[in-house]
A and B are shown apart, each in its own frame.
With several copies, the nearest count.
Chain A
Amino acid sequence: MFEVTIDQFRGPLDLMLFLIKEKKLDLFNLDIAELTLQYQNYITSMQQLNLEVASEYLSELAGLIEYKSKKLLPRDKTVLEAAAVEDPKESLVRRLLEYQQFKDITGQLQDRYLLRQQIYGKALSRKEIEDVMPDLLVEGNSYDLIRAMKKVMVRVSLQQPFETKIAARELSVDQRIDMLRRMINRFPASFALEECFADCPDIHLVLITFLAVLDMIRLGELLFTVDGEQIYLIRSTSDDGYNGNY
């Protein structure tokens, strides 16, 4: 049984590279039948765990099975040569090698990115040169703004299904706390406990939410009072020391 989950892979090629390494397959003399078997086992075990397997993984699986079955068919050399098609094995190996190259470069990019995050620029000195600043440096009109807002809205509406999918997945208590913090911002200073469950599609999330609320009370972010059978939560107004001033 694998201890890794599908989420750790960035796609079917990443998974194949993992299997090739894990099963010590020879990339330059790739046994497609063996790779197909391993890949299929993996996908099946993920599906048995009820993990969602993206369609990309399944379409590559179909491709692998096709390669494998072609290999089993009796070869007709003349047909193959006449068609002058690339050997499917070679093309798969080429794709894997190319993908591996880009996978390798990401480490370097990540390092460079993190280093750059640690050095800062300074803002434009406005006061120093105020008297020489021309009035308008920027050009634009209201149509630019409306178009930009349209783009934002289209993107948000396209992303909605993805976000719902994530919400329906299992959340950790910490993740739920982050969500609650944002939700609670929009609530009045005191509100009923039930408000926190308003977006819970199942009992599991209700439980996680309850744990999250308890934790937030422990952290002092929420206070609670009991009125009859009704529990009310109150946002703690204590300043946590954050002030954006220098």
Chain B
Amino acid sequence: MTDITVIIEGLLFIVGEQGLSIEQLSATLQCSEQEVLKAVDELSVFYKGFNRGIQCVNFGGQVKLLSASFIHPYAQHMLSIQKTRQLSQSALETLAIIAYKQPITRVEIEEIRGVGCDIMLRKLQAMDLIREKGRSEAPGRPILYEVTQDFMDVFQLMSLEELPKLEQIANSSSQELFD
């Protein structure tokens, strides 16, 4: 494959099911739309040429990589035998902060947790436990996050009001520190 085709493959992979438009690709790679189209064609042909689990499609000018459709029964089987996933401690902490402080930006969450949580937020979003809720008025207009209906289901909550007030937690936790 030519260099530009390879770069397009990598970029399409990273953005996933959202895909990229011919214009976006041409602007990113600083080359003409003709060249992009040619490279996208080369990529599609490359994927078709082999027996492959991935395909490259161009739907109305939006180019994306998709899994081949014969994979889906296997995916279904895989998901059905997968044990329920335990949320990691850091996932729980991030969710707790969002549930208590929503809507909240990534930077605000990171300030509370003291660690970066970019990847964690993407994971929680992919799991549909949190979603984007507009943008803050702060400089850079960062994305605001809030919890979803799925979150309420998973944690068996009728409403966020059911969670105890922070002051109640604070009192009990300072006791815990000293006993």
Contact = CB atoms under 8 A, between A and B. Distances in A.
Give the interface residue-count category, chain B: 35 or more
B47 interface: no
A124 B16 contact: yes
Given A121-B64, A244-B143, A102 B114 contact: no
Contacts of B178: 26-27
Interface string A91-125: 00001011111111110111011111111111111
A153 interface: yes
Contacts of A27: 174, 177-178
Q: Which of A12, A104, A147 has the most CB of B within 10 A?
A: A104
Given A140-B155, A148-B93, A128 B14 contact: yes
A87 interface: no
A142 B112 CA distance: 20
Given A119-B66, A246-B78, A129 B155 contact: no
Contacts of A145: 92, 95-96, 99, 155, 163
Interface residues of A, number: 86
Contacts of A128: 14, 17, 66-67, 72
Interface string A64-95: 00000000000000000000000000000001
A165 interface: no
B114 A12 contact: yes
Contacts of A26: 178
B112 A99 contact: yes
B87 A110 contact: yes
A56 B72 CA distance: 42
A103 B163 CA distance: 14
Given A102-B96, A102-B112, A246 B173 contact: no
B60 interface: no
Interface in A15-56: 17, 20-21, 26-28, 54, 56
Contacts of B86: 110, 113-114, 139
Contact of B170 (A101, A106, A112, A134): A101
A154 interface: yes
A186 to B, nearest CB: 9
Contacts of A105: 96, 100, 163-164, 169
Main secondary structure on chain A at its contact with chain B? Answer: helix
A232 to B, nearest CB: 18
Interface in B127-173: 127-129, 136-143, 153-157, 162-164, 166, 169-170, 172-173
Given A112-B156, A154-B176, A155-B114, A246 B24 contact: yes
B65 A153 contact: no
Contacts of A121: 16-19, 64-67
Contact of A114 (B75, B84, B90, B113): B84
A4 B24 CA distance: 49
A145 to B, nearest CB: 5
Given A113-B154, A119-B69, A137-B85, A159 B14 contact: no
Contacts of B172: 104, 150
A215 interface: no
Given A10-B115, A136-B154, 15 more contacts: A20-B177, A27-B178, A100-B177, A102-B112, A106-B93, A115-B156, A122-B65, A124-B15, A125-B13, A127-B17, A150-B173, A152-B113, A154-B177, A182-B111, A235-B139
Interface of A: 10-14, 17, 20-21, 26-28, 54, 56, 60, 95, 97-106, 108-110, 112-129, 132-134, 136-142, 144-159, 162, 181-182, 185, 221, 235-237, 239-240, 242-244, 246
15 contacts: A21-B177, A100-B173, A102-B93, A123-B125, A124-B126, A125-B13, A129-B14, A142-B155, A149-B163, A150-B169, A150-B172, A152-B97, A157-B174, A242-B141, A244-B143
